[in-house]
A and B are shown apart, each in its own frame.
Chain A
Amino acid sequence: MSESQKTAASQDVKMEVEKNRNRAALRRTFLGRVIRSVVVAFWVMVIAFSLIRLSPGDPVRMALGADVTEEAVEEFRTQLGLDKGVLTQFWDYFSGILRGDLGYSYFSGRDVTEIVGTHLPVTLMIIGLSIGFAAIISIPLALYVAMSKSNTVNYLFRALTSISLAVPGFFLALMGLLVFGVYFNIAPAAGYEGAFPANLKYLWLPALANCGSLVPVLARVLHSSIVDTLDEEFVETGVIRGVRKGKFYWSYLLRPSLAPTVVLLSYMVGVMIGGTVIMETIFSLPGIGRELITAVDGRDYPVVQSIAMIFGLIVVFFSFVGDLTGYLLDRRVTLS
């Protein structure tokens, strides 16, 4: 074997090793994330479990109302298991989760799994639409401003993003209702219809209002990434190579710039969940956020704990999806 063949062979071995290492890293990351999401969900549940019990108010009396006898109260308390010690209550609830049983609402007696099953899709749809709208608005906007040499455009961009950052989501929602719902009458002010394509009619405005706080952040981060990318040598290489316009924008500007934005977006899902709760209340949508508010009001322990845990799971899941998307867009991004 000649010297050059030897080096080539060793390089080949090195590449093979690296490939395996990458695959192993990917597997490890995936497993790590699953474990992490379980741990996060557990702690969120523990915190929700403790906080709701620390807050004043007796769920039993709230559920039964004022006109009941002391015996009835105590009987219902025993029935719910609230007469037991906190640790026992926790164990009852926790072991229930492991069996896939989230408990029953103190108020309606409905199975919490069923409540989540009915109302979570609405919330997820709003979050999904919000992300979609945020991407549709902020990507072209950031690209346009980054490519524009005009000072006015850049100034306007900075000013408008600052202003819209300062506008709270509920205000945007109310203005949206006023403009689209009342003035133009193209969006229903309230109400909901369950089936998929039909429900979009009720969801687009809340989603749009919800992404109002998202767009300025995303557009700014993406804008500065694109401006950095534009200075890179490979962009010039692309220009010289005469890459087609669409391909140039995607492969030479967006893909190398998108990773930080995507990761940020996925981390902001938590913020969006908070916004969704507000939107559901304003637009009276049967989402899980509204269920949560009702449950907190009534100290409906099982419902509050379960929804909080599910929100934790959603946040961890989206942050993983974000990291993975960032990695697929740009392999320089390392998965932790």
Chain B
Amino acid sequence: MSTPNKPLIQIKDVVIGIPHKRRPTLIIVNNANFDINYGEMVGIVGESGSGKTMICRTMIGTLERRGGKILSGDVVFEGQSLATASESDWKKLRGKSIGYVPQSALAGPNPVLTIEAQLAEALRNTGDTKDIKARSKELLDLVKIRRVDTVMKQYPYQLSGGMRQRVMIACALATSPKLLIADEPTTGLDVTVQSQIMDLLKEIRSSMGTAIVLISHDLALIDEVCDRVVVMHAGATVEVGSVKDLEKPRHPYTIALNSSRIDIAEPGSELVTIKGSAPSVGEWNPGCRFADRCSIVQSDCRIGDHPALIGGSGTHQTACIHTELLERI
């Protein structure tokens, strides 16, 4: 992709597998390719099992904990390879240059520690242990938590889901990271809280210049807050482009995702769903893994490897080899 500066993080042909002693290694992500630039807000969208979370784990270094492994390709963060990073390398990166907001707001904070203790832990990562208390309060102010003094002394179970997620964001921001990864940060939160959290992320991006990766299955949400979108299907990036690019999708899967959006559905009309379900890990046929669900599938779609992303107009890339047929959909 042609951006003036070098990207902050590059996902280069990453293949992720789960090695097993007796069975062959299970490939769960194959052909993942995209970049994230400094200060950019990128959404990763896809169905469950499309490998969104796995990709996110490569960026935060928790893949091996869950039994996964980068088999080939690389993740490059500011020129440093993360695929080969050791645990001590990760110690320098995680919670410093890269922040993470977990999926479940309710289970994210440690239930046995007060908010103050958790913020202090995050702040100690900066190496500066002065004025931890004052800095903790600043962080809570930053994520717009009121009655800071009370909240500091409370345990997570005393806070609402939205508050807990704000605290998690505060912890992630403690070290002023360059990259913030938010893995479905609004799961389980109601819609008004969801939009508050999104507004907060947007604000953080603009005030602190933090690049944010937002993982979601909600295209509408991503459209609203992100600059660029990465669409994943069955362990592969199938389309990458700016939000504006994605208004004219160039992959049948993105088109299908778009037409199944609830927010643009005609009132009273039946909701559109995508035919079939994403092929399960380990049951991938040769060729394009969307072929079985695609309405414009051709015979050459089922041959060879999964198609790689091909550049179209500038930053807009698609993995569809028959874009000329897209008008038929």
**Contact yes or no, B109 A330, CB < 8 A:** no
Is B94 engaged at the interface, CB distance under 8 Å to the other chain?
yes
How many angstroms from the CA of A239 to the CA of B60 in the assembled complex?
A: 10
Within 8 A of A (CB), among B91-150: 91, 94-95, 100, 102-104, 107-113, 117, 121-122, 125, 146-147, 150
Interface segment, one of A10-18, A60-68, A103-111, A154-162: A10-18
How many residues of chain A are within 8 Å of chain B by beta carbon? 27
**Contact yes or no, A241 B104, CB < 8 A:** no
> Among B62, B110, B147, which residue has the most Cβ atoms of chain A within 10 A?
B110
**Contact yes or no, B146 A242, CB < 8 A:** no
**Closest residue to B160 on the A side, CB-wise?**
A11
Other-chain contact of B102, A8, A12, A236, A243 (Cβ < 8 Å): A236
How many angstroms from the CA of A236 to the CA of B65 in the assembled complex?
A: 9
Interface segment, one of A112-120, A213-221, A249-257, A264-272: A249-257
- Nearest chain A CB to B132 CB, angstrom units: 14
> Among A7, A18, A240, A332, which residue has the most Cβ atoms of chain B within 10 A?
A240
How many angstroms from the CA of A18 to the CA of B150 in the assembled complex?
A: 12
Other-chain contact of B108, A4, A233, A242, A243 (Cβ < 8 Å): A233
**Contact yes or no, A234 B158, CB < 8 A:** no
**Contact yes or no, B110 A242, CB < 8 A:** no
Q: Kindly supply a per-residue 1/0 record for chain B positions 148-162, scoring 1 wherever the CB is within 8 Å of any chain A CB and 0 otherwise.
A: 001000110110000
Other-chain contact of A242, B94, B109, B158 (Cβ < 8 Å): B94
Q: Kindly supply a per-residue 1/0 record for chain A positions 308-336, scoring 1 wherever the CB is within 8 Å of any chain B CB and 0 otherwise.
A: 00000000000000000000011110000
**Contact yes or no, B112 A251, CB < 8 A:** yes
Known: A8-B147, A12-B147. A241 touches B113 (CB 8 A): no
How many angstroms from the CA of A11 to the CA of B113 in the assembled complex?
A: 21
| 6 A–B contacts, CB within 8 A, in A order | A234-B108, A237-B109, A237-B110, A241-B94, A241-B122, A241-B125
Chain A positions within 8 Å of B, measured between CB atoms, are 4, 7-8, 11-12, 15, 18, 232-234, 236-243, 247, 251-252, 255-256, 329-332
Chain B positions within 8 Å of A, measured between CB atoms, are 60-62, 65, 91, 94-95, 100, 102-104, 107-113, 117, 121-122, 125, 146-147, 150, 154-155, 157-158, 168, 171
Give 5 new A-B contacts, CB below 8 A, not counting A233-B103, A241-B125.
A15-B150, A234-B102, A239-B62, A240-B95, A242-B91
